[in-house]
Amino acid sequence: MSIGERIDKVHLPAAAIAGVGVSVYRSREESDYERLLEVLGGLLGGCLGGVLPDLLDLPTSPNHRGLAHGGVAVVALVKRNSMGAVQRLRESADAFRHAAQDLSLSPQVRKEYALREALCRLAAGFVVGVQAGYLSHLALDLFTPRGLPPISWSDGRLQRTPSGPTHS
């Protein structure tokens, strides 16, 4: 299976599901409209996150499954508090929605504020979707014979992989 086929058949659908699932969960207290926009953002972010490791560590490179597939990437994703960014985006969206309801503004300006609100909601879902999609890619790669640096899955158990460059 070529890398393009693997991305299309494995990573992209799994990442889309992960992005949608996490954004559905994270937006559970939002209104239906807000949740819909965040889930759409989660879908888009999940798709990007699902292919990002292979865009950063090209499958044709002798260093494939290097830095972007290793522990550094996982730590960076897990330690990064996306909820702070999501909360700020939601607060901005709420402010734009409030401004869009101001009848003293022109209809054009009110539409612009409504669009900004929608974009902030999409971005909030996108942030969590990228993380979920990226982690889904790494989880899928972990359970292949080559595994991920510094661990691999072999004979039904996790093992350390040799250090140094890996080859496709």
Q: Considering the entire predicted model, what is its pTM?
A: 0.79
Q: Please report the DSSP string for 19-62 in residue order.
A: HHHHHHHHTTTS-HHHHHHHHHHHHHHHHHHHHHHHHHS-TTST
pLDDT value at residue 108 = 97
More confidently predicted of 106 and 159: 106
Nearest alpha-carbon partner for 7 in 66, 49, 63: 49
pLDDT value at residue 120 = 98
More confidently predicted of 78 and 131: 131
pLDDT value at residue 65 = 73
Q: Which two tokens stand for residue 79?
A: 């330690």
For residue 101, the tally of other CB atoms under 10 A from its CB is: 11
| pLDDT of 112 over the 80 cut | yes
pLDDT value at residue 143 = 79
* Cα gap 123→77, rounded to integer Å: 17
